[in-house]
Structure 1
Amino acid sequence: MHYSKIASHSPLLKLSARWEVAYRSVSQSKFWFLLLTALGSLSNVVYTCTVPLVGFGVIAGATLPHRRAIATMMTMWFVNQLLGFTIHSYPQTLNTFTWGLVLGLGTLLVTLLTSIKPSFGRSPMGSHYLWLAVALMGGYVLYECVILLAGFALGGVEGFTLPILWGVFAGNAVWAIAVGCLHSILLWDTSRQSSHAVLKH
């Protein structure tokens, strides 16, 4: 009975081990770093004020090394501000510049929070996806708290209504899920290629 349980768990252990190897490979690759940075920057073309900084911050923090995650999100934030003050004609006032810094701070905090990557059990794969869900919700609350606190000093608290907050969260969640699925596809492909390489040898 004991041996049958071990045998039944061995495929799951192998899957988890392959996933962890693939995760490390994708995490360290320049391709994923550049792709995520490009996608985050291009999202600024679709959005202006409600750019999905939280969604991308969660994915970056959970799938990239610490410094690369910060570099990705600061690039995304900078592109957002650059487009805002040029193409979208943001008013060049101290208040607007300060709000830009507030958004940057919130983005940085979300990325740093997600970079913690705690373990929730034996399976690194299960821990990863569970942490993505927790970090998305917790990161969004943290981000909005930063904006709310700034709003008391800079103005704009009246924008904190449930429909608006829910809409912004939904947009961030959609981006996080979409980019997270793309990351999972890369993990699967990397794992498949590694398995084929082992079989050839």
Structure 2
Amino acid sequence: MSARYLPCFLSRPAIGIAALAVASVLFTVGFACAVPLAAFAAIAALCFGRREALVATGVVWLANQAWGFAFMHYPLDAETFAWGGALGVIAALSCEAAGLAHRRLSGPLGVVAAFLSAFLVYEGALILIDLVVLEGGDDFAPAVATRIFLINACAFGGLLAVKTLVAGLTPRPEGAATLAPRHI
């Protein structure tokens, strides 16, 4: 097998995924349990192919969980682990929803649809779980849901701006295959 077929650890997707993981840790420091995982899932779906987007979303979730348990003293109990696992699964589903929306719609409408799809799947799944475990949905009062939406929307906008800036500054040889994030 030729060396050109071997995966490079420092490929552009790996760098992008690492950058998203670092950004998620910064959000974890600022927002703890309100980390905008839906925004990260949507931006991953816009930047990468399906497999890399799911990996990116998983790495973002894992970085958030690792930081939370190591430095923010998340409780070490079954409920916290269950919610953490659920957040990972829901983030992956949100990424899939964002990717599907973006594949179906193009241009700015596809970008907005990707974010809204990710957010609706994410919050809808959390509300459903909350109702099923009989917590009554109090964590999803309109004021709380609005705050979470705004955090996710602002994070998505910021991540999209950075993605656009980086894509504009990244040189590519003419006709060369690229590992760079897809253009919106």
TM-score of the superposed pair, with normalisation by structure 2: 0.78
Matched to 2:164, the amino acid is S
1:137–1:29: structure 2 CA closer, same or farther, 3 Å change rule?
closer
1:158–1:75: structure 2 CA closer, same or farther, 3 Å change rule?
same
Larger Rg: 1
> Residue 83 of structure 1 corresponds to which residue in structure 2?
67
Query: Does the alignment pair 1:145 with 2:124?
Result: yes
1:42 equivalent among 14, 26, 43: 26
1:33–1:88: structure 2 CA closer, same or farther, 3 Å change rule?
closer
- For residues 143-177 of structure 1, the C-alpha deviation after alignment (integer angstroms, 9 at most, x for no partner) is 11111111123326211111110110101111111
CA contact (8 A) 2:28 2:68 kept: no
For residues 103 and 119 of structure 1, the distance between their equivalents in structure 2, rounded to whole angstroms, comes to 26
1:31–1:83: structure 2 CA closer, same or farther, 3 Å change rule?
closer
> Residue 160 of structure 1 corresponds to which residue in structure 2?
140
Q: Mark the runs of 5 or more structure 2 residues left unpaired by the alignment.
A: 1-10, 176-184
> Residue 118 of structure 1 corresponds to which residue in structure 2?
103
> Residue 8 of structure 1 corresponds to which residue in structure 2?
none
1:51 equivalent among 35, 39, 53: 35
Matched to 1:50, the amino acid is A
> Residue 177 of structure 1 corresponds to which residue in structure 2?
157
Instruction: Determine helix, strand or coil for the equivalent of 1:47.
Output: helix
For residues 115 and 175 of structure 1, the distance between their equivalents in structure 2, rounded to whole angstroms, comes to 18
For residues 168 and 147 of structure 2, the distance between their equivalents in structure 1, rounded to whole angstroms, comes to 32
The structure with the largest helix share of the pair is: 1
For residues 13 and 79 of structure 2, the distance between their equivalents in structure 1, rounded to whole angstroms, comes to 39
Aligned residues with identical type, % of pairs: 24
> Residue 32 of structure 1 corresponds to which residue in structure 2?
16
1:101 equivalent among 82, 85, 88: 85
Instruction: Determine helix, strand or coil for the equivalent of 1:90.
Output: coil
Aligned length: 163
CA contact (8 A) 1:56 1:176 kept: yes
C-alpha displacement of 1:79: 2.0
Query: Does the alignment pair 1:61 with 2:45?
Result: yes
TM-score of the superposed pair, with normalisation by structure 1: 0.72
1:161–1:74: structure 2 CA closer, same or farther, 3 Å change rule?
same
